[in-house]
Structure 1
């Protein structure tokens, strides 16, 4: 008993000493070395899919390393308004433009660009940057995108190649590609054997190294804004420049330079940082180190930038679990910086109320999301043709289209229209987004240069929604005793018990916030939804063929639509789609929308600029938003960057480069009251008194014995 008492007293004394300082020890600290920043990324698909800029995918690590290690000819400034005069010179210092001859149906087409390249620039391997290397990079991407090697055409092909016959009605004496119709695609002296590329013409006609520092690019495409495709990282990263010396030794079967995904060295570019390593499983991320030989190092460091010596990427899985882990790491100081984007939002309220963090508000994001894709396949003669649906396809492992993507079962157009008027946008923004979003601007986002607010975008109006149902389904509504005077409860009851139409809404944890709103919107027009969950995510299951895309009534995804030069995106999501493009990932028309008039509007947008182009955008937006309704436009979220106050960030370009971070003199601030209601000095004083009392009691007890 005596031995137990002694142990008990020792424990009491140690506890009395330690309790007051435990809150301090438990407080977050910033333990990273000076000039080293830990920044957040998220793990999506297999990294090997995206090591090569030519095959960049949205989920590849390239976005995090590529922004810091690789550079392009020119860059777009932050919040670019589309003016070429504001473009930022990077590996090119100057450029001049030559135009195609305009006529009544064509304007603004660029025939050629002459670039003056920056002198005294070296790649990370010490090799020289010059016009030969620039031409090699562009030629390589065109060959790979067109499927000239062993692999199939890449998704970037949709922007880098065009089918000659599609533009035959618009040919002029100067701009004419009749010679390519029905022929094998060719570029740079090579002939493509890929059947799906028959009749295609490359976006670039040829690249010419005029001299060591002069590059001339001659175009086949009319595209009025090729500079944005040469600079806009949101349109892909194929145009970033990699070292010819490091990578020209690897070839496809046709001797096309490629980047083998098993290469140890990645991202050998000219950028301000050098890639070190990446391993999502073993390292939980990767790192870059500062390139002290960067051509712009002296100038940027004189301004206080390019100070970070090492950047450590910490990967988090996409979805609520990863978001929670990332937020805890940010608030505890384990990571210094996290990007707040719709695909991986931060907890704004927690960050904004933290005395140790800053939130850089970057305004309304260009991504719409989540939007709801509404299946239009019923109106496509092509995708409902049994000859296509039941044929065994070698590209699908000899499965049929229906075996891979299900039976066509879209949403009738009238119901799509009604759903756009039934969805409760205001409550969704205020409740699910906490007011951190605005109503999406439609197919042309609110911050897009061509958005016209006068073009109608449906808001919630149940009277209009039900009028469309009554007009389209007079027999069905009459049989259910529904008319213009029916109450909301009566419409909902029919939707729940005897729906006019039923569909499946495919969902995942990231977008479950939409589920209840879609079911309620359907019920309020006498229809119903059942939910189909995708634990791996909707987009991953689309890519792997696990989602019956033809039969999926609706699903939610984020939709990236940039502020300028939106045509490539509209073409990608809403241009008529065919099997080869779908199976090769060259289209994002996941709702199988098909309409000749809409294709014509896209043609007008592509072939013109100025007033005529804007008129085409307006007609396109009106028809898409009010008649065809392939997409239900919910919100555009605010986005930004959350970081500890150890850092300041200057947003010069449109990309998240750690080069623009400045380290400042700052110390982590601990709460004044580590234990709620008590200050540490008071608790320490009480602990000392308690300890003395225990010692006194022990001595008195020993004397009594």
Structure 2
């Protein structure tokens, strides 16, 4: 028994000394088996999204769009609008022809307008179905977008009509002797021999006048085309060449989609009308990866893309060590707590190799960065910021027409301007960022976003200042504040204002938010802000929704007074497309684009002038808009950019961030990723050299053995 105890003691002592070293001598990671598989973790969305350039909408379809489809050119990450930095893709060369610089009736000279683009197309390019890329296919693609967006045959979809068709009356003050589209006013436009029939197109003109084939191309494809523009095209050029940020004008196979020349393609495998089976293939393009399938339901969810062995730039990539992945597997995760835990575990165990860490689809940051076998790439530009819409509709004709009882006018429920100002100054932006983002966020310092090309942080923007906020409330509601039941004035205490909000609020706001973690925090901080200025909000299930956007689309836009949305403008967007949509008076054609119903003639005028000006003049105009919106109108609360990045396993070298050609949270074609393997190093005990510790431990073990042997003798 004594001998057993001695042996047991020896085993325990040796185990105590040796076991700590076992993890550091685990089997090193070796090269993956053939085929080489890259596992990409993406978010499950309610619907897959539409990849078709004519109707594209943001979704996880973007993850498979860029590896499958390509455009005429690409642009580098964080592109600043300089066309000289564009990179060739399906076009190898291009040249611009400009509208003459001429005076308009506004009294300034239109400049920078592009009248036409001549494109030389790449030869020896085939689509995934084996068909040839040439001038006819390029023309068919662009014609198709115009036909579908204008619903010229009755089979199209006009949800993005305003992106491809312009109201001719909008630009009357800016027409010149050479550039004048007034002939379209009051008439139905035509495109490619087809005359529009839907009322929305009356008085509009297509942005593209026509596509001319200069050279059809030979047996190896290619050729030359000329794009003639109707619009001023100082912005349309980059939208069409490098990919409109809303649509991404990428080329699809004319042979595969011949039946869809006038109708959109919905979904990418999950829409019953467009099943992903042997009868219909999605995303047939020229890109480096071929789309296989995408499944969002059933026991196995996810997607698969396969390497395009016939890719036109295969050799160019492979010769410098890229484009080695044979399969890209997409693994789907929900954005809730369970999905976050599952994705963290998947990254830790190697079940996925790569995934974004973005607002609304976050990793547990501290957990992933502590993993030795994981790399965290922090994007130098912030995530799409979150903003809060403050409804201005009562300032517009909508309120007057509804009050007059005109037909088809929905009820209006906007906030007064000074109330919007008060709420903007009552919100604790810093506290919200700390709570919602654990401090990993930056305040929006401009209506254009923190990193946007024309953003000017010197223009004042609302911040937490209850003195300013309460002054605005006292000015907006003097009688209500002075009512004996409230008795509020400039000397009232914080407790006074909160007591009024709790027992007898000055006003109760229609505020809508969703169930995501960020908006749950937003609701708490908005509630505090409102209470601090004597206001309240309806805190009930009818205002806390799974998603606010369906409520807005369903008619709630005119009555929802406060609601949050992602601010969609990107740093590499030169600005006009989104500013035009969010703040220009939209007319009756696109009434839903201006989310806050902020209809100001001077802002609309400046937005129009931006279109016809050079970069220095544009800066002045953007500044004018910023001063008006940020210090007078208050249609939005520009809250925060969440900091974001990408998480990937150390076995991989990832350089996609240097080459992608999309918005900031979208990675490119996945060719700039390669397997490099990874062998863990021996972790050191904090405060000690591993080698000294190992030497001391070895000597200790030998000493213990020696003493025990002597005792045995």
Task: Please state how far the C-alpha of 1:475 moved relative to its aligned partner.
Answer: 2.1
The verdict on how the C-alpha distance between 1:530 and 1:324 changes in structure 2, with shifts beyond 3 A counting, is farther
Within the candidate set 307, 322, 330, 1:313 is matched to 330
SS state at 2:448 partner: coil
Within the candidate set 660, 667, 670, 1:658 is matched to 670
Q: Are residue 261 (structure 1) and residue 266 (structure 2) matched?
A: no
Query: After the TM superposition, which of the residue ranges 533-542 and 193-202 deviates more from structure 2?
Result: 533-542
Task: Please state how far the C-alpha of 1:430 moved relative to its aligned partner.
Answer: 2.4
On the 8 A contact 2:384/2:641 being kept in 1, the answer is: yes
The verdict on how the C-alpha distance between 1:156 and 1:52 changes in structure 2, with shifts beyond 3 A counting, is same
TM-score by length of 2: 0.83
SS state at 2:533 partner: coil
The verdict on how the C-alpha distance between 1:250 and 1:555 changes in structure 2, with shifts beyond 3 A counting, is closer
1:99 alignment counterpart: 98
1:175 alignment counterpart: 179
2:595 alignment counterpart: 590
Task: Please state how far the C-alpha of 1:66 moved relative to its aligned partner.
Answer: 0.6
On the 8 A contact 1:591/1:630 being kept in 2, the answer is: yes
The verdict on how the C-alpha distance between 1:51 and 1:95 changes in structure 2, with shifts beyond 3 A counting, is closer
Aligned runs of 1:185-334 on 2, under 5 Å? 185-211=189-215, 212=217, 213-233=223-243, 235-252=245-262, 261-262=274-275, 264-282=280-298, 283-334=300-351
SS state at 2:644 partner: strand
The verdict on how the C-alpha distance between 1:603 and 1:577 changes in structure 2, with shifts beyond 3 A counting, is closer
On the 8 A contact 1:534/1:541 being kept in 2, the answer is: no
TM-score by length of 1: 0.84
2:505 alignment counterpart: 499
Instruction: Name the CA distance, whole Å, in 1 between partners of 2:123 and 2:452.
Output: 35
SS state at 1:528 partner: strand
Task: Please state how far the C-alpha of 1:203 moved relative to its aligned partner.
Answer: 0.9
Structure 1: tracts of 5 or more residues without a match: 1-19, 393-400, 674-681, 683-705
The verdict on how the C-alpha distance between 1:484 and 1:105 changes in structure 2, with shifts beyond 3 A counting, is farther
Task: Please state how far the C-alpha of 1:670 moved relative to its aligned partner.
Answer: 11
Aligned runs of 1:110-125 on 2, under 5 Å? 110-125=114-129
CA deviation map 1:221-273 (0-9, x unaligned): 11313332125556133510001111113454xxx686783462111111010
On the 8 A contact 1:249/1:257 being kept in 2, the answer is: no
Query: After the TM superposition, which of the residue ranges 292-301 and 587-596 deviates more from structure 2?
Result: 587-596
CA deviation map 1:498-548 (0-9, x unaligned): 2222102211122111011111111112212223444431124434x2x73
Task: Please state how far the C-alpha of 1:420 moved relative to its aligned partner.
Answer: 1.2
On the 8 A contact 1:74/1:230 being kept in 2, the answer is: no
Instruction: Name the CA distance, whole Å, in 1 between partners of 2:132 and 2:583.
Output: 42
On the 8 A contact 1:70/1:241 being kept in 2, the answer is: yes
Within the candidate set 497, 518, 524, 1:516 is matched to 524
1:56 alignment counterpart: 56
The verdict on how the C-alpha distance between 1:388 and 1:244 changes in structure 2, with shifts beyond 3 A counting, is farther
Instruction: Name the CA distance, whole Å, in 2 between partners of 1:152 and 1:43.
Output: 28
The verdict on how the C-alpha distance between 1:380 and 1:155 changes in structure 2, with shifts beyond 3 A counting, is same
Q: Are residue 574 (structure 1) and residue 586 (structure 2) matched?
A: no
Instruction: Name the CA distance, whole Å, in 1 between partners of 2:353 and 2:680.
Output: 12
Task: Please state how far the C-alpha of 1:380 moved relative to its aligned partner.
Answer: 1.7
Aligned runs of 1:118-137 on 2, under 5 Å? 118-137=122-141
The verdict on how the C-alpha distance between 1:244 and 1:609 changes in structure 2, with shifts beyond 3 A counting, is same
On the 8 A contact 1:368/1:637 being kept in 2, the answer is: yes
Instruction: Name the CA distance, whole Å, in 2 between partners of 1:316 and 1:55.
Output: 25
Instruction: Name the CA distance, whole Å, in 2 between partners of 1:321 and 1:566.
Output: 37
Task: Please state how far the C-alpha of 1:28 moved relative to its aligned partner.
Answer: 14
Aligned residues: 631
Q: Are residue 38 (structure 1) and residue 50 (structure 2) matched?
A: no
SS state at 2:141 partner: helix
The verdict on how the C-alpha distance between 1:331 and 1:158 changes in structure 2, with shifts beyond 3 A counting, is farther
Task: Please state how far the C-alpha of 1:196 moved relative to its aligned partner.
Answer: 1.1
2:547 alignment counterpart: 537
SS state at 1:40 partner: strand
Instruction: Name the CA distance, whole Å, in 1 between partners of 2:247 and 2:32.
Output: 31
Q: Are residue 335 (structure 1) and residue 352 (structure 2) matched?
A: yes
1:559 alignment counterpart: 567
1:695 alignment counterpart: none
Instruction: Name the CA distance, whole Å, in 1 between partners of 2:404 and 2:344.
Output: 48
On the 8 A contact 2:165/2:204 being kept in 1, the answer is: yes
SS state at 1:465 partner: helix
Within the candidate set 644, 652, 656, 1:647 is matched to 652
The verdict on how the C-alpha distance between 1:42 and 1:366 changes in structure 2, with shifts beyond 3 A counting, is closer
Instruction: Name the CA distance, whole Å, in 1 between partners of 2:194 and 2:200.
Output: 16
Instruction: Name the CA distance, whole Å, in 1 between partners of 2:678 and 2:383.
Output: 33
Within the candidate set 365, 370, 385, 1:348 is matched to 365
Query: After the TM superposition, which of the residue ranges 312-321 and 335-344 deviates more from structure 2?
Result: 312-321
Task: Please state how far the C-alpha of 1:131 moved relative to its aligned partner.
Answer: 1.4
On the 8 A contact 2:369/2:375 being kept in 1, the answer is: yes
CA deviation map 1:27-69 (0-9, x unaligned): 999997552011022232433x51423211112x431111100
Instruction: Name the CA distance, whole Å, in 2 between partners of 1:182 and 1:79.
Output: 41
Instruction: Name the CA distance, whole Å, in 2 between partners of 1:495 and 1:578.
Output: 38
Instruction: Name the CA distance, whole Å, in 1 between partners of 2:595 and 2:116.
Output: 34
